[in-house]
Chain A
Amino acid sequence: MNIAVTADDEVRYEARPSATELGPASKRIVVGYGFWIFLLSDIVMFSAFFAAYAVLAHATAGGPGGMQLFNQRSVAIETVCLLVSSYTCGLMSLAIDRSQYGRTYLTAFITFVLGALFLTLEVREFAGMIAMGAGPQRSAFLSAFFTLVGCHGLHVTAGLVWLVVMMAQVAIRGFSATVERRLLCFSLFWHALDIVWVWLFTVVYLMGVLP
């Protein structure tokens, strides 16, 4: 083992065990990796919904299509909300690394507000569509649309609940190793949701209104 000479570096090497020579990986790495696998399987599930949507995108059964239903302005606002909330979630990870309570609460609050704004806009869009008779039972296209977008919306809802729970844990238990691991998983989850949304707004909302 080739370890840097200074005692300071030696301590830092020892503090980061490797799977190859220093025994099993730390719990943070194992937990993060396991959650990474879960996220990938979640994205595989989304890919099935995407495939269903792409196949049924023109199966409107004489009902309204994407051109009549989608409002680009509201989608643009939703996209910005989710993107900026992903950014503030990243800033929250930085604050957590430095154990700064104030900045953690502030960035978590902004993340929550932006996520809630996203959900409000989406629910309003759904309600408007259902009110004009374009509910999920209208056509195969709308069934696929509500399943795909609704599934993403449910994930965002779960993320918001998770964020509140995590902030309560930070308030009660402080930055313990367990709480930090859970926060790592939360930020992975939130960034992954943004990646799914990029895919979603491109395939559903932008390609859906092409002539």
Chain B
Amino acid sequence: MTDTQYDRAPGDASALPDVERDTPSGMLIYTIGLVLAVVLTAMSFWVANTSLLWVGGVSLGLTVLAIAQMGIHLVFFLHVTTGPDNTNNVMALAFGVLIVALVVVGSLLIMADLNDSMMPGPELMNLQMQH
């Protein structure tokens, strides 16, 4: 057997001996993460407040920026990688993301569809008018 697989606790930096030697120091990784996160946050606030961009695309842009920033947090703060020592953590994360997507997208689709279907008059059935 040539491959010995080592697991890694989530949040721990890599413990593989051959990786350890030429990776940047932990401090540098956290600092890069912080800088990237600050840049993305500033962009989010700018996108939400500027009048330069087409209004219809703003929420999509904000969503992309938020997902990018969550990725930055996962990689630089929680040390999630594609390495073999991290497979279990990534699989659990992927399952969590799947459930989150099902709950959020599913709820929005079903509720939008319900609103569309119940249309005897917008003033009667629109959720906005109900409590």
Interface of A toward B, CB cutoff 8 Å: 1-4, 9, 12-13, 16, 18-21, 25, 28-29, 31-33, 35-37, 40-41, 43-44, 47-48, 50-52, 54-56, 58-61, 72, 76, 79-80, 83-84, 86-87, 90-91, 93-94, 97, 139-140, 184, 187-188, 191-192, 194-195, 198-199, 201-203, 206-207, 209-211
Contacts and interface: CB of A to CB of B under 8 A. Distances in A.
Given A52-B107, A54-B107, A206-B48, A83 B9 contact: no
Contacts of A84: 34
Considering the complex of A and B, which 9 residue pairs feature the smallest CB-CB distances, nearest first?
Answer: A32-B9, A40-B96, A51-B107, A202-B66, A90-B30, A36-B10, A206-B48, A47-B100, A87-B34
Contacts, number: 169
Contact of A86 (B8, B10, B73, B93): B73
Contacts of A198: 41, 66, 69-70, 73
B72 to A, nearest CB: 9
Nearest to B65: A202
B96 A29 contact: no
B11 A188 contact: yes
Given A87-B30, A139-B131, A210-B59, 14 more contacts: A16-B15, A21-B4, A29-B9, A32-B9, A32-B11, A37-B92, A43-B96, A59-B127, A86-B73, A90-B77, A91-B27, A91-B30, A192-B78, A202-B66
A82 to B, nearest CB: 10
A84 B55 CA distance: 31
B77 A191 contact: yes
B99 A47 contact: yes
Contact of A19 (B7, B73, B111): B7
A3 B11 CA distance: 26
Nearest to B101: A47
A192 B70 CA distance: 9
A195 B103 CA distance: 18
A207 B131 contact: no
Contacts of B10: 32-33, 35-36, 188
Given A33-B88, A191-B77, A194-B77, A93 B11 contact: yes
A86 B78 CA distance: 10
A44 B69 contact: no
B73 A194 contact: yes
Contacts of A59: 127-128, 130-131
Nearest to B110: A55
Interface string B71-87: 00110011000000000
Given A32-B10, A36-B92, A47-B103, A83 B66 contact: no
Contacts of B100: 43-44, 47
Given A55-B111, A72-B45, A87 B33 contact: yes
Given A37-B92, A48-B103, A94-B27, A187 B11 contact: yes
